[in-house]
Structure 1
Amino acid sequence: MQKYPVVIIGAGPAGLTAAYQLMKENIKSIVLEQSDKVGGISRTETYKGYRFDIGGHRFFTKVTEVEKLWYEVMGDEFIKVPRMSRIYYKGKFFNYPLTLFNTLQNIGIVNSALILLSYFKAKVQARMRTNWEAENFEEWVTDRFGSRLYETFFKTYTEKVWGIPCTQIRADWAAQRIQGMSLKRAVINALFGSQNAKSLIKEFDYPLLGPGMMWERFQEKVESQGSPVLMETQVTRVEREGNRIKSITVLQADKTIQITGANFISTMPVTALLHRMDPQPPEHVLEAARGLKYRDFLIVSLIIDEKDLFPDNWIYIHSPEFKVGRIQNFKNWSPAMVPDASYTCLGMEYFCSQGDELWEMSDSKLIELASREVVNLGLVSNINKIEDGTVIRQYKAYPVYDGEYQKHLKVIQTYLEGFENLQTVGRNGMHRYNNQDHSMLTGMLAVKNILGENHDLWNVNTERSYHEEFTVEESKQKVQALAK
């Protein structure tokens, strides 16, 4: 039996941020992590000295407190990286963000004119409607950009990512991920340059050795102050008593440990959390948990005997004839990610679901597929240039916003809010497609709630105030009481 003031499940951005904030207030915590690396989906993997991300993570935020925390932890180990990405569609590469002459050249004046006409038609139709609200992704995007732009730049890639038709994806996801964008702004930016839009930033911060470096530093700092981070530790039971969590039982190698605490913060998939509770939640809550879906992800990292392949950080592959969804060039994130400057490491990213054809494919077949596709895309001249590769699979990478998720999540949220000493944070802890800065913000606010403040974590990344403002007072009396 072990006892800590705060018990944290998960050593990803949200969990480690919470542990770090508690450490700064002299409050001990323990972090329980199932895998052998910290950082969750923001970790950095290593293969034969080559370092690569699970999805690529830019460090840019409007949340001042999060930005301060990044620099506080990383210091001069941050580098500035110029942002460059493109879209591959129908055999051509489009600048992203769109530039006027490149787009005209690729799709032609006639198609460009038809896209604009489709856009104006959508705007006219929108003015004629009353009391109408888009319910799915297709309706949301078409309403704002027109049907032709939707078909050209949104439909195929989105369906590749999620594995379901755009008509089955909730409009919430579009509103969360594409907010602030408009065709008018895209044209203005194409003609006159970026107007300071978040999605159009020219450079971003990046840890020298990848995003996992950030979370390794967090781990070092919290452990140095007596708050352990237990790796390869699986939560098997969450004991509850009334509206309080009493203890957590974990399995570490062949050892079973029971941990009690005054407060609990969970970043594990909310579905798994509910199924580990003892006694189990009511059946309608478990039914809602069973209704939530996830999209899995795998990355095939290829080591290529070429010094320079292309200048992008990443390329989106919209063409449906290719299974790959996105390609990372890790050398262009940081030269230190590649141990031999005469070589390049590419990350071929495939969106899939556990049990489907891609997920079940052997590593050797996946490396073969990725090698063939990168050559057919014209990014590598000869398949013989590809010398090696490895595969990393990521379970539950993305919470799915299907037609039923909102109803199920509301049931779960209502149930969890009834607990006095439990908060769920982060992407999987809230079944919300958060960026890492918003996941960190939920961890920061969870600590502030423990200190006596009152923040609604479910509003993070939905309420504008949490995007651009973060000013809260510390509760010193509560800190002192908890630290004892």
Structure 2
Amino acid sequence: MEHTELTIQPSTSNLASDAPIIVIGGGPAGLTAAYELTKRQHTPIVLEKNDKVGGIARTENYRGYHFDMGGHRFFTKSAQVQQFWQEVLGDDFLRRPRLSRIFYKNKYFHYPLKPLNALLGLGPIEGVRIMGSYVRWHLFPYKEEETFEQWVTNRFGKRLFETFFKSYTEKVWGIPCSELKAEWAAQRIKDLSLKTAITAMFLKPQETIKTLIEEFDYPRRGPGMLWTAVQNRINAQGGQVQLNSNVVGIQRQGQRITGVTVEQNGRTHTLKGSKFISSMPVTQLLQWLDPPPPPRVLQAANQLNYRDFLTVCLIVKKPELFPDNWIYIHDPSVLVGRIQNYKNWSTDMVPDQSTTSLGLEYFCNEGDAIWNMPDEELVALGKQEIAKIGLAQPDDIIDGAVFRVEKSYPVYDSEYAESLDIIKDYLGTLEDLQTVGRNGLHRYNNQDHAMLTGMLAVRNLLFGENNNLWQVNAEQEYHEELVLNQTLDKETVTHVVDDILDGAFPKLDSLALGMSLGIVTGLSLLLATLFLVATGGDVSGETLTLLAQFYPGYDITAVGSLVGLGYGFLTGFALGWGYAFLRNATTALYLVSLHRSAQQSTMRQFFEHI
């Protein structure tokens, strides 16, 4: 290949330096960063190795059919991100209802799981086993939660883990659940606690918290529609988005990056830059550095792993197939992991409304048997498995195509945390470089969190801020919990709940209440009897003597008053103890009900984010 050195001359609007800011990668994080730079009068250069922008969130096109690589719902708690989306696309966003189910052992289960539906699907014997396992692991949990298997088992029981978690998770990651770190689950699933359930009780759900997203926004022609619009805006503002531009080298002088080597159309050239933002896989970034980083850093980079996937896109000669947006395939008898129904995301994804388009997602590793399988064989496999599941017949499928997505999921294996710490420390020494996005940070972020890292990276480079991009989405917080019309921040509410929890749901002391009520009742009967003895009795005395029918030996005498003291104490004690017991039991059952409801929601979140 020929190599030339090329320095792009900046426009007069590039106020920061004589060289442009270079953004490596045209996915959500990189394009967001570049867009933010253009709004601050900079003219960045975005280098994207593919023939279209969007990265993992791109939309592929085959014969006019649009295929979303993974299914990207647009929801966020970030006002900045929401404003970004509306600013770029506005009315081209659709509000869509969400519907998804689980396919397991030739049956479909409501999602989230509903007790009656799950019981009918699994059968009463399996239901009893699951409940028994749930109780067993709550009473005797794993003392440490180092692996994904331990984390889930402690919350749902071993039986439910093996039924609804194990097979699908191992399809996605390609490693046993016993090797997948618990940190991934803790990041993707909100950790359940009694405090969480109680907090929700002190805020009005109708006004403040919506815990599960039942609707989401979606671009009419998929997420790529958004990122193509962002690309056009960057170019219109004087920036450059260069496609088919693969970075194959990164030059460094001391603690500063000075330029990148780019391969375009079989030729390479060098671009000089003033500052750099990279969303390329951090492992590749370190391997391209020249001079290279210390051997310890390169060794750490080599320890990081990724999971890839490919989508077999099928065009089906049916106007409707099933109502779901997507279906999770937990059945181990087929290789497909998830099936997208693109027409149910947006009818604009399908040019011919007499047809339907499906995306069968196969999780794999780049270079393995599935990844290397020829496209025609993959389409044939897709036809076979879609028929086995019962969603369509092979004769209904009129065409198909395959799209591969490399390095889709950073793997949280047993060695990743230590390796990533070494990499973080080294990257922190590079003064003019910010790494962003899912692969740039080796963190399983959602699209909106990737965008936030791009926004914060720009602020770090331009304004000298010290935003920690590695901490974006580090809070163990439900990604689909939206706060609406919030008047109290989370910290304040938690503090209030901590202070009033004991007062709101105090546990009554059965013995103390029984003793107290027994003494009061016994003394009352004693004094009432002695009063009647002293005054000679009256009509009320005749009424009081009726107690002899319930209290043998009691009468209106001095001795009877002592008998009444004993009977009164026993009666009061029984009433007090019984009331306290029933009240405590009712409160406990209510809180357990809240906790179980939250667990159903957590199961739902889990599948949403893997």
- How high is the TM-score relative to the length of structure 1? 0.90
1:151 and 2:157 are equivalent in the alignment: no
CA shift, 1:108, in A, is 2.7
Deviations 1:340-398 (A, max 9, x none): 00000000100011222211211111111100100110101x21111110011111111
CA shift, 1:62, in A, is 1.3
Pairing 1:186-335 to 2, within 5 Å after superposition? 200-335=212-347
1:93 and 2:108 are equivalent in the alignment: yes
1:108 and 2:120 are equivalent in the alignment: no
What is the rounded CA distance, in whole Å, between the counterparts of 2:189 and 2:71 in structure 1? 18
Aligned Cα RMSD in Å? Answer: 2.3
Contact kept, 8 Å, 2:28 with 2:227, in 1: the verdict is: yes
1:460 and 2:459 are equivalent in the alignment: no
Contact kept, 8 Å, 1:12 with 1:40, in 2: the verdict is: yes
1:123 and 2:134 are equivalent in the alignment: no
CA shift, 1:256, in A, is 2.9
One-letter amino acid of the counterpart of residue 274, structure 1: L
Contact kept, 8 Å, 1:459 with 1:466, in 2: the verdict is: no
Specify whether residues 139 and 63 from structure 1 end up closer, same or farther in structure 2 by C-alpha distance, changes over 3 A only.
same
Unaligned runs of 5+ in 2: 1-6, 10-18, 484-610
What is the rounded CA distance, in whole Å, between the counterparts of 2:82 and 2:126 in structure 1? 42
Secondary structure of 1:200's partner?
Answer: coil
Specify whether residues 78 and 365 from structure 1 end up closer, same or farther in structure 2 by C-alpha distance, changes over 3 A only.
same
1:64 and 2:76 are equivalent in the alignment: no
Aligned counterpart, 2:8: 2
One-letter amino acid of the counterpart of residue 108, structure 1: G
CA shift, 1:241, in A, is 0.8
Aligned counterpart, 2:600: none
CA shift, 1:323, in A, is 0.3
CA shift, 1:304, in A, is 0.6
Deviations 1:110-162 (A, max 9, x none): 43333233223222224xx7xx4311110111011111111111000000111
Specify whether residues 273 and 317 from structure 1 end up closer, same or farther in structure 2 by C-alpha distance, changes over 3 A only.
same
Contact kept, 8 Å, 2:188 with 2:476, in 1: the verdict is: no
Deviations 1:153-198 (A, max 9, x none): 1000000111110011111111112224689999xx9xxxx99987
What is the rounded CA distance, in whole Å, between the counterparts of 2:32 and 2:366 in structure 1? 29
Specify whether residues 302 and 253 from structure 1 end up closer, same or farther in structure 2 by C-alpha distance, changes over 3 A only.
same
For structure 1, which segment, 354-363 or 426-435, has the greater mean C-alpha deviation from structure 2 after superposition? 354-363
1:48 and 2:63 are equivalent in the alignment: yes
Secondary structure of 2:451's partner?
Answer: helix
Aligned counterpart, 2:92: 77
What is the rounded CA distance, in whole Å, between the counterparts of 1:463 and 1:454 in structure 2? 18
Contact kept, 8 Å, 2:48 with 2:243, in 1: the verdict is: yes
Specify whether residues 2 and 258 from structure 1 end up closer, same or farther in structure 2 by C-alpha distance, changes over 3 A only.
farther
Secondary structure of 2:287's partner?
Answer: helix
Secondary structure of 2:89's partner?
Answer: helix
Number of equivalent positions: 458
Pairing 1:442-457 to 2, within 5 Å after superposition? 442-450=453-461, 451-457=463-469
What is the rounded CA distance, in whole Å, between the counterparts of 2:195 and 2:326 in structure 1? 25
Contact kept, 8 Å, 2:186 with 2:476, in 1: the verdict is: no
Contact kept, 8 Å, 1:13 with 1:42, in 2: the verdict is: yes
Secondary structure of 1:179's partner?
Answer: coil
What is the rounded CA distance, in whole Å, between the counterparts of 2:30 and 2:164 in structure 1? 35
What is the rounded CA distance, in whole Å, between the counterparts of 2:371 and 2:120 in structure 1? 37
What is the rounded CA distance, in whole Å, between the counterparts of 1:216 and 1:355 in structure 2? 30
Secondary structure of 1:349's partner?
Answer: strand
1:137 and 2:152 are equivalent in the alignment: no
Unaligned runs of 5+ in 1: 470-484
Aligned counterpart, 2:367: 355
Deviations 1:226-276 (A, max 9, x none): 000010001121111111111112121144332222211000011111111
Task: Name whichever structure is richer in helix by fraction.
Answer: 2
Specify whether residues 394 and 291 from structure 1 end up closer, same or farther in structure 2 by C-alpha distance, changes over 3 A only.
same
Q: Which of 4, 11, 14 does residue 26 from structure 2 map onto?
A: 11
Contact kept, 8 Å, 1:267 with 1:426, in 2: the verdict is: yes
Deviations 1:307-363 (A, max 9, x none): 110000000000111000000000000000000000000001000112222112111
Secondary structure of 2:277's partner?
Answer: strand
| Higher relative contact order (Cα pairs below 8 Å, separated by 6+ residues) | 1
Secondary structure of 1:168's partner?
Answer: coil
Q: Which has the larger radius of gyration?
A: 2
CA shift, 1:199, in A, is 7.2
Contact kept, 8 Å, 2:308 with 2:365, in 1: the verdict is: yes
Contact kept, 8 Å, 1:86 with 1:95, in 2: the verdict is: yes
CA shift, 1:100, in A, is 2.8
Task: Name whichever structure is richer in strand by fraction.
Answer: 1
CA shift, 1:466, in A, is 12
Specify whether residues 321 and 340 from structure 1 end up closer, same or farther in structure 2 by C-alpha distance, changes over 3 A only.
same
Aligned counterpart, 1:474: none
1:346 and 2:346 are equivalent in the alignment: no
CA shift, 1:109, in A, is 3.4
Specify whether residues 170 and 464 from structure 1 end up closer, same or farther in structure 2 by C-alpha distance, changes over 3 A only.
closer
Aligned counterpart, 2:400: 389
Contact kept, 8 Å, 1:97 with 1:200, in 2: the verdict is: no
Specify whether residues 248 and 198 from structure 1 end up closer, same or farther in structure 2 by C-alpha distance, changes over 3 A only.
farther
Contact kept, 8 Å, 1:2 with 1:257, in 2: the verdict is: no
Specify whether residues 319 and 64 from structure 1 end up closer, same or farther in structure 2 by C-alpha distance, changes over 3 A only.
same
One-letter amino acid of the counterpart of residue 120, structure 2: Q
Specify whether residues 185 and 433 from structure 1 end up closer, same or farther in structure 2 by C-alpha distance, changes over 3 A only.
same
Secondary structure of 1:346's partner?
Answer: strand
Deviations 1:189-226 (A, max 9, x none): 9xxxx999877311100000000001001101111000
For structure 1, which segment, 235-244 or 172-181, has the greater mean C-alpha deviation from structure 2 after superposition? 172-181
Contact kept, 8 Å, 2:66 with 2:349, in 1: the verdict is: yes
